[in-house]
A and B are shown apart, each in its own frame.
Chain A
Amino acid sequence: MNNKVLMQGNQAVAEAALVAGVKVVAGYPITPSTEVIEILSKKLPSVGGRFIQMEDEIASIGVIIGASAAGKKALTATSGPGFSLMQELLGYAAMVELPIVIYSAQRVGPSTGGATLPQQADIMQTKWGSHGESPRIVICPSTVEESYDLTITAFNLAEKYMVPVVILSDEILAHMRESITVPEKNSLKIINRRNDPPPQEEYLPYKVDHTGIPVLPPFGSGYRYNITGMIHGDNGIPNLAPATIDKCIRRINNKLDKYYDDIVMVEEIKREKSKIAVLAYGSTARPAKGAVKMAIEKEIDVEFIRPITMWPFPEKEVREVANRVGKILVPEMNLLGQVANLVRQVIEGKAEVVKFNKVSGEPITVEEILYQIEEINKKQRRER
C-alpha cells in the first residue's frame, strides 16, 4: 500500500514519536518547534500518554528524565534558547544513563537571534554544551520523511543504548511541508529497553554485562536502587575514589564505541575518480546534493557525503572519502564552520577542507554550492 501523506517537519516528528511509543511529553513553547508539543498535547491521551507544559525548558527535560526513570519513553521539543537551558540535565541524563529524546529545531543565534530563520550553529553544543564529558547520539534529518523515520530511530537508539538522543533539525525542515511515505506499522522495528535484571539481592544498577549497557528496571517494578549524577560505582552510590571516577567516566563515554556500525548513518554518492567531495548535513544537504548532481553533469569529478549521525561523528566514512579526494567542500549555515573543523580534525591533513558559510538567515542555494564546486575544480585544474 502506498501511504503518501503531506506533512510538516515538526508534524512528522510528533506522529513518529507516537508510533515509537512515546508516553510522556513535556515542553515549553518555542519557535520553530512548537507544533510538536501542540500535536502531542492533543494526541497523547488517546495512546495512554500524558503531556505537560512546564514552566521552562529545564523543567521540561526534568520531567522526561523522571518519566524515563519510571520506564516510559519520553520526549521534549525545543530550539536553541531552550536547548541551552537543557544542557544541565542533558549531561545528567547521559551520566545516569536514562534514555530520553530531545528534538531541537535550530534557529538563528546567538541569544534570541531570529526565531523564524534557520541556522546550523548548534552542532558543537549538542555534544559539548554540558559541562564535563558525556555521551549522546545526535541525528540530523534532511527531509520531512527522514524526520519521521529518524524519530523512530532516535527512540530505538536511546532505549537500546541507554543514552540521550538529540534529533537536530533546523527551521527550514521544521516548517517545510513535503509528501512522505508513512511506513506500515508492522514493518517498523520498535525497540524497548532491556528489563532483565538479576534478582534484587544480586542487582547493581551500573554493573554491566558484556553489552556494556546498564539495565535500569522502572521505578516501582520491585527494584530499589539509587540514581545519581554524582560519580558512582556499580551500586549507584556516590563514590569519589580515584579508580571509581576513572572507571565511571571511561565507561559512559566509551560504551557506544563498539556499536559504531549500528549507530552511525551516512548517505553517499560515491564516484571512483572524485577529486572533490561535498559534505553537507541537515537541510543544507538538499541544495548540496543538487549541486553535486549538476556538477557531475558538467563532468566535474565530484562526490557527496552526508553525515546523518552527527555524534558519534562518522569518522571512518569521512576518512575514507578524504583518502581519495583532494578537497572537501563543507557548506553550512554557520560562520565558523563547525562541521568543517570537525572534518579537518578527523582527516588529519589527508585532504584540504574548504569552508562555505552563510549566516544571513537564508538557506544556502544550489547555485552558491555549484559555484564553489566549479571554483575548486578550476583551481585544481590549474594546479595540475
Chain B
Amino acid sequence: MSKLDKYLRLNQMPHFACPGCTHGVAWASMIRAIDKLGLDQNKTIMVCAIGCAGRLPVYLDFPSIRTPHGRALTVATGIKLANPKLKVIVFMGDGDAAAIGGNHLIHAARRNLDITAIIAINEIYGMTGGQYAPTTRKGKFASTAPFGMIEPAMDICKLVEAVGASFVARGDVYHVMELNNLISQAILHKGFSVVEILTTCPTQFGRRNKIKNSELIKDIGGITITKKQAEKLSENELQNKLIRGILVQKERPEYIEEYDKITNFQEEGSLK
C-alpha cells in the first residue's frame, strides 16, 4: 500500500485508461504535489469535464464534480465565488480546455481567480476515437485528419499569458520530478495558475501516426527544453521546441480579494 493510496478511490480500480496512457503520470504528479503541500482532502475540490482527462475525479477521493464538456472552469469559478477558502483544482484535456472550453479558459486567466488549471495535452481526442485537437501538430494524422493535420497547433501557454495569467508552466511526462515541482508551485501560487502537461496517447495518436509509446515519450522528452538550454540554441534550432518549466510567475491582484476590497464585502449575515 502506497502512502498516496489515501487519495484514491481504490474501490473504483482498475481504472479505465488504456495500457501505455500517460495521463496517469500527470495524475500521479498532481497527487504527489497535493500530498507534499499537505492540502486538506475535504477542502480540495477536483473539477473535471469530459474526455479521458475528465474521467479523473472518479478515481480520486476528493469532493469532485464532472461537468459537461468544456465547462469545468465555469463551475470551478462558481465554487470559488461561493467559498474562496476551498482549494479548487481543474484537470482538463486539450480539447476540453482549448477547443470547446477555450473562451472560458481565456476569461478565467484574465480574471485571475485563485484556481489551478492543469491541462493534459495529448494532441488527440482519445475518448471519441482519435480526432484532431487544436494542439495537434501540423502533418500529424488523426481520424478526422486522414491526410494529415493542416491547421497550426495552438500554444496554450502563450494564449493564457497574453490574457494575463499570473502563473504559467509547462511540464511533460518524461521529466516527472520537474513536473511534481511545477504542480506544487502552481497550487501554491495565489491567482489563476496554468500547468500544461505534454502526455501521450498510444492508442489513438501513436497508432495513427505509427509511433510506439516509448518513442512518443522520448519524442516529448526531446521536444521540451529548459530556458537555459534554449539560450544556447539558435532561432533555427528552436523551431519545433517548447520551453518547459515556469514560463510566467508574477503577482497580480487575485479576483476575489479585489472584489471583496472594492465592494467592502460583508460576511454573510452582517448587513452594512
Contacts and interface: CB of A to CB of B under 8 A. Distances in A.
Interface of A: 23-24, 26, 45-50, 52, 54-56, 58-72, 74, 88-89, 92, 96, 218-230, 237-238
Contacts of A61: 74
Given A55-B106, A226-B58, A62 B78 contact: yes
Minimum-distance CB pairs A-B, first 7: A66-B78, A62-B74, A48-B268, A45-B263, A70-B82, A63-B78, A66-B75
Contacts of B78: 24, 26, 62-70, 74
A24 B62 contact: no
Interface residues of B, number: 48
Contact of B66 (A26, A223, A229): A229
A222 B42 contact: yes
A239 to B, nearest CB: 10
Contacts of B271: 46-47
Given A54-B107, A70-B79, A70-B82, 19 more contacts: A24-B78, A24-B82, A46-B266, A46-B271, A48-B266, A48-B269, A62-B73, A63-B74, A63-B81, A65-B74, A67-B82, A70-B83, A74-B78, A92-B67, A219-B45, A220-B83, A221-B42, A223-B42, A226-B58
Contacts of A220: 42-43, 45, 63, 83, 85-86
B265 A238 contact: no
B107 A219 contact: no
A245 to B, nearest CB: 17
Contact of A62 (B62, B67, B256): B67
25 contacts: A45-B259, A47-B271, A48-B265, A48-B266, A48-B270, A55-B107, A60-B74, A62-B73, A62-B75, A63-B78, A64-B78, A66-B47, A66-B76, A66-B79, A68-B82, A70-B79, A88-B71, A89-B67, A219-B79, A220-B45, A224-B41, A224-B63, A227-B64, A228-B58, A238-B58
Contacts of B83: 70-72, 218-220
B79 A48 contact: no
A347 B58 CA distance: 46
B61 interface: yes
Interface in B26-77: 41-43, 45, 47, 57-58, 61-68, 71, 73-77
Given A45-B265, A62-B71, A66-B74, A71 B66 contact: no
Interface of B: 9, 12, 41-43, 45, 47, 57-58, 61-68, 71, 73-83, 85-86, 103-104, 106-107, 256, 259-260, 263-272
Contacts of B75: 62-63, 65-66, 69
B113 to A, nearest CB: 9
B270 A66 contact: no
A61 B85 CA distance: 22
Contacts of B80: 66
A331 B78 CA distance: 40
Contacts of A54: 74, 77, 107
Contacts of A58: 71, 74
B262 to A, nearest CB: 9
B164 to A, nearest CB: 14
A66 B82 contact: yes
B44 to A, nearest CB: 9
Contacts of B260: 45
Given A219-B83, A220-B85, A237-B58, A45 B264 contact: yes
A23 B268 contact: yes
A67 B78 CA distance: 4
A46 B88 CA distance: 25
B70 to A, nearest CB: 8
Given A48-B267, A66-B76, A227-B64, A89 B86 contact: no
Nearest to A218: B83
A68 to B, nearest CB: 7
B216 to A, nearest CB: 28
A368 B231 CA distance: 80
A39 to B, nearest CB: 14
Contacts of B9: 237
Contact of B81 (A59, A67, A89, A226): A67
Contacts of A52: 77, 81
Contacts of A67: 78-79, 81-82
Contacts of A229: 66-68
Contacts of A69: 65, 75, 78-79, 82
Contact of B77 (A23, A66, A227, A228): A66
Contacts of B61: 224
B104 A59 contact: yes
Given A23-B268, A58-B74, A227 B79 contact: no
A23 to B, nearest CB: 7
Given A224-B62, A224-B63, A55 B82 contact: no
B7 to A, nearest CB: 10
B74 A227 contact: no
Nearest to B62: A224
Contacts of A238: 58
A221 to B, nearest CB: 8
A328 B103 CA distance: 48
A230 B256 CA distance: 31
